[in-house]
Amino acid sequence: MRTTLIVCVLASAAALAACARPEPAPEPVRSVKLLTVGPSSLHAASEYAGEVRARVESRLGFRVGGKLVERPAEVGQRVKAGQLLARLDAQDLALSGQAAQAAATAALTQRDLARADLDRFKGLLAQGFVSQAEIDRRQATLDAAEASLRQAQAQSAVQGNQAGYARLLADAPGVVTSVQAEPGQVVQAGSAVVVLAQDGERDVVIAVPEDRLALVRPGTEARVRPWAMAGDGAELKGTVREVAASADPATRTYQVKLALPADAKLPLGATAYVSLNTPLTGQAAITLPTTAVMQSAEGDRSGSVVWVFDEPSGTVQPRPVQVAGADGNRVVIAGGLKPGDEVVAAGGHVLSAGQKVTRFVAQ
């Protein structure tokens, strides 16, 4: 009986042992490729395709609305300052001017009548036939008539100006690059009818991606090679004049304008190669391959991090770093690392803090 009880107890213990959760397997010791951090020379010069544009490009439109009856300007036409570009039907504007002039004439008549009435009552006051209150009333009537006359004259001048606004004139010499309205079309006040590229200085416009924007700032010098003369080795000196504050909604790039020398004779719309000399070109800085930098969203480590190898313990730990930009397929590190640190070059997505690793040695 005792033997049977012992056998049952042992069998139960074996069954319970079989049902218990097994101990988790120890985390494997991974082999990682390490690289030693050190300063290297940057080669941040970049080449972009640009388009030559006028420094000043005006979208000209009428100051009043109306029906377009004439548009002598054509695309590609060279115009002089004061040259007629388009004309509206001015009949309604002329009638409005006549009405305003008639109102001014009527106000002048009312003013003269009020003045004569005041003079007549002043004579009666001297003879004692009227009181001073009557004189004050006539004086107030004259003052109101003079104010109405000034208002009518100002309105007549405004209507006269609007009659002249029916003619759209070039405000500077240049080339017509676009027409946006045709004869017979009714246009609103202020809507563009003709786009005029004014003569004078020229710009080269390029599109810079977001990862390069931090390296481009006003005053940055560049080499401009016109596409038509690229084979001749001809170059012009350009300078960044303007950097867009927001990205283009379609291309997600930033527009950058470079000023060309005043004597540059490049046709509008010409293509040019632009090589920017960014402020970091030729300087020494810490750079890492893009595979070594990861994005983290864990508490105080949110942002860019790298895995740093600790030689005594043989483990890796994440360390936040500050990224200054890109240099080709490498990332420029502005802070968080110092020369001599060893970081994991690739595969950081499978590592955890404090994990033991071994140094990968190529066979």
> Over its length of 363 residues, how does the chain's per-residue pLDDT go in tens digits?
555 655 555 566 555 555 555 565 566 778 888 888 888 766 556 789 999 999 999 999 999 999 999 999 999 999 999 999 999 998 888 888 888 889 999 999 999 999 998 888 888 888 888 888 888 898 999 999 999 999 999 988 888 888 888 999 999 999 999 999 999 999 999 999 999 999 989 999 999 998 788 778 899 889 999 887 755 667 889 999 999 999 999 999 999 999 999 888 888 888 999 988 765 555 567 888 888 888 877 655 568 899 999 988 889 999 999 887 776 678 888 888 988 899 998 877 888 888 888 887 655
Domains present along the chain, CATH in parentheses: 30-42+283-359 (2.40.420.20), 46-54+200-276 (2.40.30.170), 57-88+166-197 (2.40.50.100), 91-163 (1.10.287)
Helix (H) or strand (E) holding 79: strand 78-79
What integer pLDDT is reported at residue 25 of this predicted model?
57
User: Which pLDDT does position 329 carry in this prediction?
Assistant: 77
Exposed/middle/buried for 165, CB within 10 Å: 0-12, 13-18, 19+?
middle
pLDDT of residue 240: 93
Whole-prediction pTM value? 0.57
CA 191/CA 20 separation, integer angstroms: 81
Closest by CA position to 192, among listed 57, 327, 297, 13:
57
Q: Checking DSSP bridges between strand 84-88 and strand 167-169, what pairing results, if any?
A: antiparallel
The reported pLDDT for the residue numbered 22 is 59
CA-closest candidate to residue 64, choices 31, 89, 95: 89
Alpha-helical regions (H) of the chain:
2-19, 91-126, 132-164, 210-213
Tokens 């595979």 -> residue: 291
